[in-house]
Amino acid sequence: MTTRLDGASASNLSNMQKLVSAGKAAISKRELTQNKDSASTSNSDSDQGAAQGIDEHFEKLADLREKGLLGEEECKASKAKLLGL
């Protein structure tokens, strides 16, 4: 069965469809923003953890160097490797 709409009803339906589309677009945009915020927060946390891990490695290298268990060149090479150089 086919329902025919008069001009006003068709116009209202079209407006409602536009509103639904705009609402869906707004929700998608908000979800993308929330996902980006969530990702940047977790990246920030992991960056801080990585920096702390590198600091600990540097402390261990310094300790080994002071004890004479690691030479100057070995220490420099290890630092460069930690820094990705």
Q: What are phi and psi of 68, to 5 degrees?
A: 80, 10
Percentage, residues of the chain above pLDDT 90: 0
User: Are the beta carbons of 20 and 28 closer than 8 angstroms?
Assistant: no
Q: Which residues of 35-56 are buried (b: 16+ CB within 10 A; e: fewer)?
A: eeeeeeeeeeeeeeeeeeeeee
> Residue 1: its pLDDT value, please?
55
**pTM of the entire predicted model:** 0.40
User: Where do we find the tokens 């160097």?
Assistant: 65
